[in-house]
Amino acid sequence: MSRRDDITGKKAMNGFRSSKSNNKTKHRFHLNLQKRRFYVPEEDKWITLKVSAKTLRTINKKGITAVLKDARRKGTLLKEV
């Protein structure tokens, strides 16, 4: 399984670390992924998703059904629920 957010589709970025002497070394910036279970009352079932911490905050604010509906509309939902 890839390290991707199931709802937004975001993945790790590449970049450089910069030392005090300005030497550059390659680095990957990974997402803060969490594996969480959500209850969807409209479908009356539990779903397990890998979501980033930022997406988790959005789910807490808007609700899981609104976030899933928006992701389906945009076409970014990776895991079909």
- Count of residues for the chain? 81
Q: How do the pLDDT tens digits run along the chain, 81 residues long? A: 689 999 999 999 999 999 999 999 999 999 999 999 999 999 999 999 999 999 999 999 999 999 999 999 998 888 777
**Which of the 8 DSSP states describes residue 3?**
S
CATH of domain 13-74: 2.30.170.40
Contact of 63 with 38, CB cutoff 8 Å: no
